[in-house]
Structure 1
């Protein structure tokens, strides 16, 4: 097989593997959002969230458009989590 032929046969495998990773990440993000009472598929919360992959197999998650209220709720949760993490770290250093 030539290099071009080998690359062409490997591309679908790479794409499939990347798509699987992206789907897994999208699924986990959907579960986390559900714990925060943010419903994926709801136009008022989070309309679209899908796993995708490039032809080279690079996985990514397409977040779609997110209403500002939902984005703020997510940002607040991330800030609280980071603050708690830093607080635990600082308490560990001060002991």
Structure 2
């Protein structure tokens, strides 16, 4: 194998590894959206969601253009989940349990 083909083969392997990772994340996101009743591939719900990778192998997920109704549903779900997490943390504090310092307001950190 010549140095040029070896270099090309390594670059292709890096790209494919990044693509596989992004495809896996896209699949997990698709499953999570399905649990919320949002169908990926439906023009009225979430038209396009794909895993991609740059030539350097950096994985990313392309979310496409999402209708406002779907985006609002996702926002409501995320806000509810955050509120529920805080409610549980506050209930734990009220019982005298240890509080996770990462959840303190204003720290900018969340687990």
Cα pair distance change 1:94/1:6, threshold 3 Å = farther
**Unaligned 5+ residue runs, structure 2?**
96-111
CA distance in 2, matches of 1:10, 1:89: 47
Does the residue aligned with 1:81 lie in a helix, a strand or coil? helix
TM-score (norm 1): 0.89
CA distance in 2, matches of 1:51, 1:6: 26
CA distance in 2, matches of 1:82, 1:10: 42
Deviation above 6 Å: which 4+ runs of structure 1? none
State which structure, 1 or 2, has the greater radius of gyration over its C-alpha atoms: 2
CA distance in 1, matches of 2:13, 2:75: 36
Structure 1 residue 93: Cα displacement: 1.9
Higher RCO, 1 vs 2 (CA within 8 Å, ≥6 residues apart): 1
RMSD: 1.7
User: What does 1:10-89 correspond to in 2, within 5 Å?
Assistant: 10-89=10-89
CA distance in 2, matches of 1:87, 1:93: 10
**Unaligned 5+ residue runs, structure 1?**
none
TM-score (norm 2): 0.77
